[in-house]
């Protein structure tokens, strides 16, 4: 059983030799570049979240492959062929609002070609998890928010294939998914909130140095935090932070 993490291409033809080429994974916001079809995009951000998840899976010795079709400038047909060749059991890819129709159509094509569990991520599916699952039956999971940890937990449970798998998947934080009831009817559920974004929600320990940020600058707290939301990031200071919410002034 292999997990495939894919940075999928979205290309919209603009005449016979040019196209709108969408950049999604790794970018703070999705955007398109008009370019010649054979030309590599002038700016291709590194798909950080996919890479983080790949590292976590490798650490647990779970088989994983990564395919960055944006950096490789892969045509749609070659991307699908490469995904099929991997024979994944779980396929994770990011979706965006400007490309959601194409993303859902691609999910349908990949499901037919691979039979894999199709998991979608990104800001659009985080805001519209149930709508995404209802819009396309080929989508099995929506991994919400900054998805590395909930994806790792869900994949770990799925690949262990224990007798209590369905019950354990239902408890994964930030996982919306589709299931079948006893009559075979498809049901969608979004039970627990995802992990809060470490870029939009500040750390509850204002004097901590965050190891997640590349510049290792000091964090600050300017507003209240939900006591039930859990640590705002994975640094040691957040793990040791008190469970009660900080005051509105931001004092620890």
Does the model's pTM come out above 0.85? no
**Model confidence pLDDT, tens digit, residues 133-156:** 999 999 999 999 889 999 999 999
Q: Which of 190, 205, 224 is the endpoint of a domain? A: 190
Task: For residues 209 and 233, give the distance between their C-alpha atoms in angstroms, rounded to a whole number.
Answer: 11
Q: What's the CATH number where 49 sits?
A: 3.40.50.280
Question: What's the rounded Cα separation, in Å, for the pair 40 and 84?
Answer: 23
Q: What is the pLDDT along the chain (252 residues), one digit of tens a residue?
A: 899 999 998 888 888 889 888 888 877 777 788 889 888 888 888 888 899 999 999 999 999 999 999 889 899 999 999 999 999 999 999 998 888 999 999 999 999 999 999 999 998 999 999 999 999 999 999 999 889 999 999 999 999 988 899 999 999 999 999 988 888 888 898 866 655 554 444 444 444 444 444 333 434 433 333 333 334 444 433 443 444 444 444 444
Tell me, yes or no, whether 47 and 149 share the same domain: yes
Same domain, 75 and 169: yes
pLDDT, tens digit, 9 for 90 and up, residues 34-76: 889 888 888 888 888 899 999 999 999 999 999 999 889 899 9
- Phi/psi of residue 155, each to 5°? -65, -40
Is the domain of 40 the same as that of 121?
yes
């Amino acid at each position: 059983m292999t997990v495939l993490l894919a940075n999928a291409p979205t290309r919209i033809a603009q005449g016979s030799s040019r196209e709108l080429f969408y950049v999604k994974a790794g970018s703070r916001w999705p955007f398109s570049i008009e370019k010649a079809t054979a030309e590599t995009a002038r700016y291709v951000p590194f798909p950080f979240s996919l890479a983080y998840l790949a590292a976590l899976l490798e650490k647990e010795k779970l088989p994983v492959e990564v395919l960055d079709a944006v950096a490789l400038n892969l045509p749609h047909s070659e991307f699908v062929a490469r995904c099929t060749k991997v024979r994944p059991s779980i396929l994770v890819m990011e979706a965006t609002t400007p490309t959601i129709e194409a993303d859902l159509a691609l999910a349908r094509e990949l499901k037919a070609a691979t039979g894999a569990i199709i998991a979608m991520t990104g800001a659009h599916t985080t805001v519209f998890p149930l709508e995404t699952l209802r819009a396309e039956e080929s989508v099995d999971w929506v991994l919400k928010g900054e998805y590395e940890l909930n994806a790792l937990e869900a994949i770990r449970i799925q690949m262990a294939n224990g007798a209590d798998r369905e019950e354990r998947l239902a408890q994964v934080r930030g996982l919306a998914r589709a299931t079948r009831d006893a009559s075979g009817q498809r049901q969608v559920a979004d039970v627990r909130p995802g992990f809060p974004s470490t870029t939009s929600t500040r750390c509850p320990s204002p004097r901590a140095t965050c190891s997640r940020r590349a510049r290792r600058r000091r964090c600050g707290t300017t507003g209240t935090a939900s006591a039930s939301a859990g640590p705002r990031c994975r640094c040691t200071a957040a793990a040791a932070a008190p469970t009660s919410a900080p005051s509105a002034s931001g004092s620890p």
